[in-house]
Structure 1
Amino acid sequence: MRWGIRHRLEFIEFRLYWGGTVNRSDLMERFDISINQASGDLTRYQSMAPGNIRYDKSAKCYRAAPGFQPVVLTPDSDRYLAWLRLDAEGIVADAGISPADLPPFSTVPTPRRAVPPDILRAIVTAIQRRQALAVRYQSMTAAAPTDRWIEPHALAFDGFRWHARSWCRRDKVFKDFVLGRILSVSGQDPAESDPAQDAQWHQLILLEIVPHRRLSLPQRAAIERDYGMVDGYLRLTVREALLYYAERRLGLDIDPDHRSPEKQHIEIHQRIRLS
């Protein structure tokens, strides 16, 4: 089956599964195809899954049948909920669901961390070409901006903002530079550092997370289901360079003995260095 046809069949099934309806105009608008192509796609889907779809003459649309079972795609709750979040933040505008089919929803707003495109482009280019950059950077440990040479070798996201993982020529150490705090780039130079020597970046840590020790057994069971724990453990692999950010984002940077289980539902069982 050609990719274009399969993509349209997935769209039909996505609409039926999450929205309950689909019609020819949905396909025509989404894929810029003719009415004949749209009709052909719906006929093809009916032949593949005759028990999944029925035509509603009064509404002039196809509806998911009561015994609907996906045959083209595997339903993914994470994908659907992620789309709702991205739609609320204005990052995506169309995932194939009609606004009329969406449930009421809202999200906690996350401040946009401004990253000028020219700064990001310079960082990405430096990573790709193994270049050093002369930057003006505002650190939170200095009252005023400082000039320094950095040698970026990777990008990292801490859950809230993006960093350039870089060798700092001034401090002679690999560290993180917040992209939004790079005020300007004024020069390039061949990089001198070896990214393979960034031990914290390459060292992986396995975080074993468990429900808070003071939760009741039913509460622990609920947390295990909520976090998708297996045998009572949630196991996350994170780079050592990002370990602090990961623990802070999960609320694990506070001793569980100093915070009530009602506020901190999980705690760290152990950290394992992976070879």
Structure 2
Amino acid sequence: MKKYVKYILLKSYWEYEVSRKDLTTLFGVNEKQASNYLAEVRKTYPDAIVYDASLKRYIPGVNIEKALPSKDFQEYLNVTENKGFETYNILPSKPVIPVLLYRLIYKAINNKFSISFKYHSLNSSSTKERKVYPHSLINSGYRWHIRGWEEESQKFKDYTLSRMELEGITLVEKKDDRSNIENDTAWNNEIGIFLIPNPSLSPEKRKIIALDFNMRDGILSVFCKEALMLYTLNSYLVTDFSEKPTTNQLLAIGNLSFISKFLPSNQSK
């Protein structure tokens, strides 16, 4: 399948829209050539995409799933080259994300709208209605999250997609200047984490761990967004944040006095 054909099909499927401008931007072709690409897809795959006059762009047709050999989300990201907004992959994994949910998130992020949904939290036995203005999508390795401004708490937070109830979820076409990504200090602030072999282990084992992680002078320097620090630490299997973790953990935080101010209070002890 030609790249532009796959792009048209996957983009319309996941984002529920594709236009000539999308093609001219990504492939560097003129509008006439972009129109020819769209016409080719409509001829080769009847009713896979249809023109929506009100939106002035193409949307998925009844045969879109038949036309796609694969509807894999990672393939969509690869083909579209992550145009629009960025996604951040910490681990090479393929957690599941429902297409209808992604369409809402995509539209909310690109239009700076909010999403209203019921959320299952570990801190509560019942679901709670949330209204969030998402600005980014995060792959922590085994789950997808959105990060954005939550209206009730008036804070930037992360929400796990799998804990969001799909039934009743709605897009609220209203903007709030406070939700701008530029106001998310933790997202825009980069911090450095120094990981060292766990001091609880023997000197011989610490030498081996230093070799495993290609450490320099016994230190592995990792840089990440402050908001993604816990996800990053988890990707290195660091869940015990004490100076001397249990021997089940290979690594420890070398600059704990600095990092502790970014950790939740119940975890920095």
Q: Which TM bucket (shorter chain)?
A: 0.5 to 0.7
Q: Which stretch of structure 1 is more off in the superposition, 158-167 or 239-248?
A: 239-248
Q: CA deviation at 1:144?
A: 2.7
CA deviation vs aligned residue, 1:150-179 (integer Å, no higher than 9, x gap): 100001222321110011111211101111
Following the alignment from structure 1 to structure 2, what is the Cα–Cα distance between the partners of residues 153 and 116? 18
Q: Is 1:128 aligned with 2:110? A: yes
Counterpart of 1:238?
Answer: 224
Letter matched to residue 266 of structure 1: L
Counterpart of 1:157?
Answer: 139
Structure 2 residue runs of 5 or longer lacking an equivalent are 1-73, 76-91, 260-269
Following the alignment from structure 2 to structure 1, what is the Cα–Cα distance between the partners of residues 237 and 197? 13
Question: For residues 9-28 of structure 1, what are the structure 2 equivalents within 5 Å?
Answer: none
Helix, strand or coil for the counterpart of 1:118?
A: helix
Counterpart of 1:186?
Answer: 170
Helix, strand or coil for the counterpart of 1:213?
A: coil
Q: Is 1:203 aligned with 2:203? A: no
Distance 1:220 1:150, change over 3 A: same
- Cα RMSD (Å) of the superposition? 2.6
Identity of aligned residues (%): 26
- Maintained 8 Å contact 1:137/1:146: yes
Following the alignment from structure 1 to structure 2, what is the Cα–Cα distance between the partners of residues 111 and 204? 24
Q: Is 1:269 aligned with 2:254? A: yes
Following the alignment from structure 1 to structure 2, what is the Cα–Cα distance between the partners of residues 211 and 111? 26
Q: CA deviation at 1:199?
A: 1.1
Q: CA deviation at 1:214?
A: 4.1
Counterpart of 1:37?
Answer: none
Counterpart of 2:234?
Answer: 248
Distance 1:234 1:166, change over 3 A: same
Greater radius of gyration (CA): 1
- Maintained 8 Å contact 2:197/2:209: yes
Q: Is 1:116 aligned with 2:103? A: no
Distance 1:133 1:224, change over 3 A: same
Report the count of equivalent residues: 164
Distance 1:145 1:215, change over 3 A: closer
Q: CA deviation at 1:203?
A: 1.4
- Maintained 8 Å contact 1:113/1:180: no
Helix, strand or coil for the counterpart of 1:140?
A: coil
Letter matched to residue 240 of structure 1: E
Letter matched to residue 224 of structure 2: V
- Maintained 8 Å contact 2:114/2:175: yes
Q: Is 1:169 aligned with 2:151? A: yes
Distance 1:265 1:132, change over 3 A: same
Structure 1 residue runs of 5 or longer lacking an equivalent are 1-90, 93-109
Distance 1:256 1:170, change over 3 A: same
Following the alignment from structure 2 to structure 1, what is the Cα–Cα distance between the partners of residues 123 and 249? 30
CA deviation vs aligned residue, 1:29-75 (integer Å, no higher than 9, x gap): xxxxxxxxxxxxxxxxxxxxxxxxxxxxxxxxxxxxxxxxxxxxxxx
CA deviation vs aligned residue, 1:105-155 (integer Å, no higher than 9, x gap): xxxxx9975431110121122112211122232222333323232100001
Q: CA deviation at 1:253?
A: 2.8
- Maintained 8 Å contact 1:119/1:182: no
- Maintained 8 Å contact 1:139/1:145: yes
- Maintained 8 Å contact 1:120/1:179: no
- Maintained 8 Å contact 1:210/1:232: yes
Q: Which stretch of structure 1 is more off in the superposition, 235-244 or 179-188?
A: 179-188
Distance 1:244 1:195, change over 3 A: same
Helix, strand or coil for the counterpart of 2:97?
A: coil
- Maintained 8 Å contact 2:198/2:244: no
Q: CA deviation at 1:219?
A: 2.5
Distance 1:207 1:111, change over 3 A: closer
Q: CA deviation at 1:216?
A: 4.0
TM-score by length of 2: 0.54
Following the alignment from structure 2 to structure 1, what is the Cα–Cα distance between the partners of residues 124 and 203? 49
